[in-house]
Structure 1
């Protein structure tokens, strides 16, 4: 096992519901969460009947994620998936992790090794062409932040389109894809019903995913080698 460069940063959030909701029913019950953070996605998945193992580079995150994961491996995903994680998974989850890696292709290739024959990956990537980020670029601002699209630990930037290409060139067939974001209503938001606002957001994201999508979402399966 490669000794990881342990991170002091701890990622805690509410979990990525839009991505988890995209996973087809009947996919299975055994999952590996690559970049599990404090276990927020694992907590939701556990409530849905999944048995989740996690991988993180942080000892602090392992302590938190252990409440929701069967096992948590401290490992640097720049080197792929640890052998100790085993194989036979129905799902490999990669929620906002590929953009942090020096070589995301290696993790995508390694995921094939640990999936079972019918297994899938679920991937979320930040969309660098989100409308508010475009405005910043137009104003000449290319500034890293402590979180979000321009997180200081992001090594790569993706759009909805380039994210799909990333998966395809690594031998995956995209089964489901979409974005989660919103239409810029600003103060008008207060005047609209929640249902109308949600409908408008869905319409905008469908019409122009690279403009209105804050994050790009994909479910994909490995293409059998004899079919490539």
Structure 2
């Protein structure tokens, strides 16, 4: 389940890319399949060990171009161990809402992105996330949980001040918003609830089968109840910070 449109980022052979906060690697794997030189980066040693094993398996099974490269590395998003202007593409998907020092993380992302390079940042969308917080404290008051809810315009302002130009926005995962509202209503850990189980089975079926009806339906619903918002960005080639952009929720 991808939140980012990699065609929009132009990811392909020879693209040097990093997925900051890679988690279980879904976006890193897609960039690897496209032939990029990818680093999956996360603070979880276990997740990165698992992602590294999957990279090896993808290569061994011939699921990636022969010249594609990938590795998984452990570290802190506030102190990235890479030189300035190192990457063509930088991705931060569903991570900034977890980081108290989000502007420091943005500054690091901008530092390692090459002039003229592109980035994508995704976070939970404002109003679907507000519903989750209103229904359940358990949803976000956990170790490593969400520490803030972004309005898209607020996130765009922060990223612009960090030195990036917003080139586009998008919304995704509309079918997942009601699922999380339901889980928050009955208890986040109550996976045995008949409605939760039934909806989860629907989502799994949808992801595996990709039927025409749900694909078209979700695309139609994304602008209204898409659970995630994605901002597409560019680092100016001349190093001049762009003027603030207007992004509506």
1:43-66 CA-to-partner distances (Å, cap 9, x unmatched) read 121111111112211211221122
Structure with the bigger RCO (C-alpha within 8 Å, sep 6+) is: 2
Listed as ranges, the gaps of 5+ residues in structure 2 are: 56-68, 180-201, 203-210, 243-249
Name the structure 2 match of 1:164.
156
Name the structure 2 match of 1:4.
none
Return the match for 1:30 from 16, 29, 37.
Answer: 16
What is the correspondence of 1:171-182 to structure 2 with a 5 Å cutoff?
171-182=163-174
Q: CA shift at 1:22, angstroms?
A: 5.5
Structure 1 vs Structure 2 CA RMSD = 3.2
CA distance in 2, matches of 1:33, 1:51: 11
Name the structure 2 match of 1:202.
219
Name the structure 1 match of 2:94.
96
Name the structure 1 match of 2:138.
144
Q: Is 1:17 the equivalent of 2:2?
A: yes
1:60-93 CA-to-partner distances (Å, cap 9, x unmatched) read 122112232733332122x23124x674211111
Cα contact 2:23–2:47 (8 A) shared by 1: yes
Name the structure 1 match of 2:110.
112
1:201-222 CA-to-partner distances (Å, cap 9, x unmatched) read 434433x4xxx12001111012
CA distance in 1, matches of 2:153, 2:133: 21
Which protein has the bigger helix share?
2
Q: CA shift at 1:37, angstroms?
A: 1.6
Name the structure 2 match of 1:5.
none
Cα contact 1:33–1:42 (8 A) shared by 2: yes
Cα contact 1:39–1:65 (8 A) shared by 2: yes
1:180-224 CA-to-partner distances (Å, cap 9, x unmatched) read 1337999xxx9xxx5455444434433x4xxx1200111101244
1:99-140 CA-to-partner distances (Å, cap 9, x unmatched) read 11111111211122212222111111012411x853873xxx
Give TM-score, length-normalised by structure 2. 0.65
3-state SS, counterpart of residue 111 of structure 2:
helix
3-state SS, counterpart of residue 116 of structure 1:
strand
CA distance in 1, matches of 2:104, 2:133: 32
Listed as ranges, the gaps of 5+ residues in structure 1 are: 1-15
CA distance in 2, matches of 1:112, 1:135: 31
Name the structure 2 match of 1:80.
79
CA distance in 2, matches of 1:18, 1:205: 12
What is the correspondence of 1:38-57 to structure 2 with a 5 Å cutoff?
38-57=24-43
Cα contact 1:160–1:179 (8 A) shared by 2: no
In the alignment of these two chains, the number of paired residues is 196
